[in-house]
Structure 1
Amino acid sequence: MDVFYSYTYGTAAWLALQAVPLIVSPTVIVTLLSPAVREATTLEVYFSRSLGFTLLALGVLNLLLTGSIPLTSRLTDTSGGVTTDPDDPKAPYAMPSLSVTLAYHAAVAFYCYAMWTQTGVTSFAFGTVFSGVLSAIGLWCVLFASSDGRISRKTGADKRTSGFPFKNSEAHSDKKKAMKKGL
């Protein structure tokens, strides 16, 4: 399982973990957040459950649009791997979904950190850590897992590398060997 799969499944699990208490027991959530013990109003219950269903929908959409759960029964790629390539028929919206969930996790991590420093409540610290880790993994996926490496068939080296500021003598020796074999 690669990092991209881990990120999409981790995002869906974290969103589901946040959604379940909002849907199942909105009265308990409102009681915990309220300074005075009181019964939740109908509007508070509605907003709590709506937020829970929204978090579940975001998690499921993330899994579907990134290609973690294939939408078709026929796959053109036999390797079974998921890429973030826009031409990949299994994951046409992988990069946009990745970008949206990355922004979401970063915003939630920032908000939880601000609330944790203001109130000192431990649950905000947990939210900061979990959302921060997911946003860091998402940023890693955007930076490094968003394209297939351009690997040379002759030398096996990545074609996107350069020799600046140091000369890659090993790659040049492989290139010379391949050229000698071809001549």
Structure 2
Amino acid sequence: MAPSMIVAMLLDETRPASAIEVYLGRCLGFGLLTIAVLTVMLTGSIPLTSTIAEPVTAEDEDPKAPYGLPTLIVTSVFHSASAFYAYTWYATGGQGAFATAVLAHSVLAAIGLWCVLFASGNGKISRRTGADKRTTGFPFSNSEAAKKHAGKKGI
């Protein structure tokens, strides 16, 4: 029984989907939609109360979104893995739908990585200049630091 089922699953010929395959495909789709809604709710993007006194932040101490950063990390890893999986299918089959999936998942993974790196901490904003004190010269030039040290000579 099991070897014939495995052989049937590995066939390349097209055939209409059976009722159980349609059912499981739709259940997977509903499951992914549910996970997407939970992800948005757990990051604090949708308020769970009717009153909002202050905005939701990505800080660990924020009681409105305690699972924001972990949820963001998990979904970024999911989109990275999905992009890699879609790329392997695109590389073997060359279908345009997989290229679109690679692009979509890669963009979502990049946005998640960007948010994990740059949106999860408070910036140290100078009261005098309004610039972020944590800036460096990599990968862009630091024009504020260059202005500050323009008249000074190195020792």
Does TM, normalized by the shorter one, top 0.5? yes
Candidates 94, 108, 114, aligned match of 2:68: 94
Structure with more helix by fraction: 1
Superposition RMSD in Å: 2.7
Count of matched residue pairs: 135
**Secondary structure, counterpart of 2:83 in structure 1:** helix
TM-score w.r.t. the length of structure 2 is 0.74
Q: 1:172 to 1:74 in 2, by over 3 A?
A: farther
Percent identity of paired positions between Structure 1 and Structure 2: 50
Q: Which residue of 1 aligns with 2:45?
A: 68
- Shift, 1:53, TM fit: 1.5
> Are residue 107 (structure 1) and residue 84 (structure 2) matched?
no
Within 5 Å, which residues of 2 pair with 1:131-150? 131-150=105-124
TM-score w.r.t. the length of structure 1 is 0.64
Give the Cα–Cα distance (whole angstroms) in 1 for the partners of residues 91 and 148 of structure 2.
51
Candidates 21, 24, 48, aligned match of 2:25: 48
- The question of whether the paired residues in 2 share the 8 Å contact of 1:99 and 1:142 is answered with yes
Give the Cα–Cα distance (whole angstroms) in 2 for the partners of residues 126 and 156 of structure 1.
41
Deviations 1:44-90 (A, max 9, x none): 2332122111101111011101111101123341xx3x421122233
Which structure would you say has the larger RCO, counting Cα contacts within 8 Å and 6 or more residues apart? 1
Give the Cα–Cα distance (whole angstroms) in 2 for the partners of residues 45 and 168 of structure 1.
60
- Shift, 1:154, TM fit: 4.2
Q: 1:142 to 1:39 in 2, by over 3 A?
A: closer
**Secondary structure, counterpart of 1:168 in structure 2:** helix
Q: Which residue of 2 aligns with 1:36?
A: 14
- Shift, 1:136, TM fit: 1.0
Structure 1, gaps ≥5 residues long: 1-33, 174-183
- The question of whether the paired residues in 2 share the 8 Å contact of 1:105 and 1:132 is answered with yes
- Shift, 1:98, TM fit: 0.6
Deviations 1:29-54 (A, max 9, x none): xxxxx732234142x23321221111
Deviations 1:108-152 (A, max 9, x none): 000000110001111111100111111111111111111121113
